[in-house]
Amino acid sequence: MTIVPLEVIHNLLLGVKPISKLMQRYHLTGINSNSGKVQEVYTLYSRFTPPRGKDVLEIGPGQTLDVLETALTAGAVSCTAVDVLRYVSEKQTKKTQIDYILYDGRRLPFNSCEFDCIWSHTAFEHVRDPATTVAECFRVLRHGGHLVALIDLGDHSYYGLQPPQPLKLFDCLRYPEWLWNLMKWNRSSYTNRLRKSDWIRLFTEAGFVIEHQESTVSDVVVKALPSLPYLQRYSYEDAVTNVITLWLRKPQA
Ligand SMILES: C[S@@+](CC[C@H](N)C(=O)[O-])C[C@H]1O[C@@H](n2cnc3c(N)ncnc32)[C@H](O)[C@@H]1O
């Protein structure tokens, strides 16, 4: 059960730098070093545009650079990873040819038109300023370049729980914006709660063209939808879609 005051206290504590630094050791960012998962994500990214001969940027790699290592092996000219938190140690980054860059989550620290491909797996839902991140991706991508993003629209607070709680998939949508931010802003389980239509609008308004898209729908939510009042304000598609993958192109100048 979610006890809102406890969530708020937890979040406020994580606003204290030494505490958040300590807790970061316990984060699990996703793929980690699961080689099957690395291959799966690499296959998704390179399905329509292989990285051979390309300059590739990954947004939010978390604890693994293995997907970019795979791209280098496949002939990428350069691979760069950008994150807001250091999950890969300096010792590890010294051993690789990948540029690992940290920034403040606002302006991407790259020149305009520097990359041919931008890849991102379950990171866009965590960005604190989605419109800026999308606009920045557009800026640093070359004309004709591609962005592939898998975005997980579920409430991450309940992932990994035993027994699983599929009915809580969109629990994050119960709360007004100000309260949700007070509960989550400093936490790794923060999600910006944008729905499928919001992402499509943001990317297209920034200038991207959608070349291909795939969505996953939660069957549990589909069945329970009439009894979930907090989902009634969304379109059917936004209320039931829990993962989207977008293949986007920056048009030629
Ligand atoms: C759930 S993890 C996903 C990690 C990895 N892509 C994976 O699938 O295993 C989300 C990652 O996005 C990063 N992140 C959050 N906001 C970001 C931003 N504005 N720019 C770049 N990365 C960001 C987080 O620090 C974290 O590394």
Q: In this predicted structure, what is the pLDDT of residue 229?
A: 96
CATH of span 37-153+193-249: 3.40.50.150
User: 192 CB under 6 A from ligand 1?
Assistant: no
Give percent of the chain above pLDDT 90: 86
Cα of 61 from ligand 1 centre, angstroms? 6
In 3D space, the residue among 246, 228, 250 whose CA is nearest the CA of residue 47 turns out to be 246
Place 117 in a pLDDT band, splitting at 50, 70 and 90. Answer: very high
Name the nearest CA neighbour of 196 among 147, 246, 157, 162.
246
Given pLDDT bands bounded at 50, 70 and 90, which one contains residue 161? confident
Ligand 1 atom nearest 62 alpha carbon:
27
As a whole number, mean pLDDT of residues 107-126 equals 98
- Using the mean position of ligand 1's atoms as its centre, give its distance from the Cα of residue 34 in Å: 17
Percent of the chain with pLDDT over 70: 100
Q: Is the CB of 121 under 6 A from ligand 1?
A: yes
Report, as an integer, the average pLDDT of 109-137.
98
105 lines ligand 1 (CB under 6 A): yes
Report pLDDT for 210. 98
pLDDT of residue 221: 97
Beta strand residue intervals within the chain, DSSP E: 55-59, 78-83, 99-102, 115-121, 141-152, 209-217, 241-249
In angstroms, rounded to a whole number, what is the distance separating the alpha carbons of residues 147 and 166?
30
Q: Is 172 in the pocket of ligand 1 (CB under 6 A)?
A: no
pLDDT of 112 strictly over 90: yes
**Between vectors from CA 105 to CA 64 and to CA 235, what angle results, nearest 5°?**
90
Instruction: Report pLDDT digits (tens) over 13-58.
Output: 999 888 888 888 877 777 777 889 999 999 999 999 999 999 999 9
For the chain, domain boundaries: 37-153+193-249
Closest ligand 1 atom to residue 152 Cα is 1
CA 9 vs. chain centroid, Å, equals 25
Residue 159 is predicted with a pLDDT of: 84
Ligand 1 center from residue 226 Cα (angstroms): 33
Position 162 scores a pLDDT of: 85
**Cα(155)–Cα(157) distance, integer angstroms:** 6
**Minimal-distance CA residue to ligand 1 atom 4:** 62
pLDDT of residue 17: 87
Residue from 25, 83, 118 to probe ligand 1 pocket by mutation (most atoms less than 8 Å from CB)? 83
pLDDT value at position 20? 86
